[in-house]
Amino acid sequence: MTYRQHIEQRLSRETGTLVGQGRRAVALAYPSPYVVGMSSLGFQQVYRLLNSLPDTVAERAFRPDDDDPPTGPVLAYESGRPISDFPVIAFSVAYEPELLGVFDVLSRSGIPLHARDRDEHHAIVIAGGPLTFSNPLPLGPFVDAVVLGEAEQLLAPVCDVLFAGGSRAWVRRELASLPGVWVPSEHGSALPEPGRADDACLPAHSAIRTPDTTLSSMALVEVERGCSRGCTFCVMRRSTNGGMRIVPPARVLESVPVEARRVGLVGAAVSDHPRISDIVRALVDRGCEVGLSSLRADRLTSTLMELLVRGGARNLTVAADGASERLRVAMQKKIQVRHLVAAAELAREHGLPQLKCYSIIGVPDETDADVDELVALGHDLALAAGPRTKVVLGVSTFVPKHKTPLADAPFPGISTATARLERLRKGLGRGIELRAESARWAWVEYVLAQGGLEAGERALAAWQDGGGFAAFKRAFAPFEAERAVRLARAG
């Protein structure tokens, strides 16, 4: 199947695709494949809102799949045109390694990677997305502007500037005058305050339903925004606008298409919504299957679980986040062992075939004894869940992020993280499945998350060198040397 046929097949399976005409054409690009991009509620929200602006049409584009041809231009899905034909390319970037996808999409489209190398004949390249809540600086050399934070109320003024007919230099100056917009050529490394949307803009909801994603054919609707909890490792802590913003149940339900039969309720802390059971009950009574993006173990009740099972739930996913009770207290994570064991008991009570528990290893002050406590938790969960419920422990390596209390904490080190993952694997044995993310790629995420404009240049060098882990080690060797000096001085 050709790349174009791949796109046409996916379009034929979509519901809600927006196809329009407009003088103001935007290629809305996601720097990961379709299956990832179309699972992003933020990406779908921007797509829907751009297409609602006067005389504006947004068409989607994605980093081609691994089985697509390795060369050739990236195409917009709705029209099939190369994105290089568009006057504006807008990237939605979720996390640091997607910078490689930005390089890939621009390069395949024949667009110079550095913003300084583009002239009046090239598209204006802007970016936004979840990454802008922490550290967008590595994007700086490659974009004309970045919309920081929540974009809902910034899209209209940004588009007015982009399509006003001015020169590239004029557009950059005008964008730099807008609140919540970072223009590297004007601001340097100084980031303005991120945008904050009014509560009236909530909830975000998807435009398109498609079976070709991990959230197959789900209508996605935001139930709340931000998180009122204070977990010290999390970018979304006590955000946005100082805490969690609750969407009234009636507004959530109005945002679900009448014909939708699968609904995903989305947010950083969905189960913290004080009326989440009422929302789920109303949807289940409609005949909908319902999934929740985030369940907190201390908010689970038998009633909510019963409703979720009625809504088609077959798995239960919760998070411990810290390896031990001591570390969870230090991280201001209020989940305790008793909450997690109670969740496992609910999984058994309601006949769920799988319980998944997420955790992090490598946080500051962690020892082997903490890892052993995580092993013990895994066995406790398996005992509480019973023999008919499979227990899966998902583990990632701690990556300190900007704008969190642990922003300046050290990365645990690849060898340390790998040793602790192996300790976990041996301790859990065969009865509990361990799904561990790569400690090596956690390090790549770390050096990008902590870096400035120069980190973007080093990432480009790594991409040009093949984009593998060894290439990143070579490109970021100076960073490692600088970090070693800083740690030595601090010690």
66 neighbors 4 (Cβ within 8 angstroms) = no
Write a three-state SS string for the chain: CCHHHHHHHHHHCCECCCCCCCCEEEEEEECCCHHHHCCCHHHHHHHHHHHHCCCEEEEEEECCCCCCCCCCCCECCCCCCEHHHCCEEEEECCCHHHHHHHHHHHHHCCCCCCHHHCCCCCCEEEEECHHHHCCCHHHHHHCCEEECECCCCCHHHHHHHHCCCCCHHHHHHHHHCCCCEECHHHHCCCCCCCECCCHHHCCCECCCECCCCCCCCCEEEECEECECCCCCCCCCCCECCCCCEECCHHHHHHCCCCCCCEEEEECCCHHHCCCHHHHHHHHHHCCCEEEECCCCHHHCCHHHHHHHHHCCCCEEEEEEECCCHHHHHHCCCCCCHHHHHHHHHHHHHCCCCEEEEEEEECCCCCCHHHHHHHHHHHHHHHHHHCCCCEEEEEEEECCCCCCCCCCCCCCCCHHHHHHHHHHHHHHHCCCCEEEECCHHHHHHHHHHHHCCHHHHHHHHHHHHCCCCHHHHHHHCHHHHHHHHHHHHHHC
pTM: 0.94
Pairing of strands 181-182, 124-128: unpaired
Q: Print pLDDT tens along the chain (491 aa).
A: 889 999 999 999 999 999 988 999 999 999 999 999 999 999 999 999 999 999 999 999 999 998 888 889 999 999 999 999 999 999 999 999 999 999 999 999 999 999 999 999 999 999 999 999 999 999 999 999 999 999 999 999 999 999 999 999 999 999 999 999 999 999 999 999 999 999 999 999 999 999 999 888 999 999 999 888 889 988 877 655 567 899 999 999 999 999 999 999 999 889 999 999 999 999 999 999 999 988 999 999 999 999 999 999 999 999 999 999 999 999 999 899 999 999 999 999 999 999 999 999 999 999 999 999 999 999 999 999 999 999 999 999 999 999 899 999 999 999 999 999 999 999 999 889 999 999 999 999 999 999 999 999 999 999 999 999 999 999 999 777 776 666 566 66
Say which residue the tokens 């209209």 belong to. 156
Amino acid residing at 249: P
| Residues pairing with 30 in the sheet | 62
Q: Which domains does the chain have, with CATH numbers?
A: 3-187 (3.40.50.280), 452-491 (no CATH)
Task: Return phi, psi of residue 225, to 5°.
Answer: -130, 135
Please classify residue 198 by burial: count the beta carbons closer than 10 Å to its beta carbon, then call 0-12 exposed, 13-18 middle and 19+ buried.
exposed
374 neighbors 320 (Cβ within 8 angstroms) = yes
State CA 77 to chain mean position distance: 22
363 neighbors 401 (Cβ within 8 angstroms) = no
Instruction: Look at residues 176, 104, 112, 116 and name the one whose alpha carbon lies nearest to residue 146.
Output: 176
> Cα separation of 293 and 251, whole Å?
18
Structure-token pair, residue 302:
């038998």
Task: Return phi, psi of residue 420, to 5°.
Answer: -75, -35
Per-residue pLDDT, 171? 98
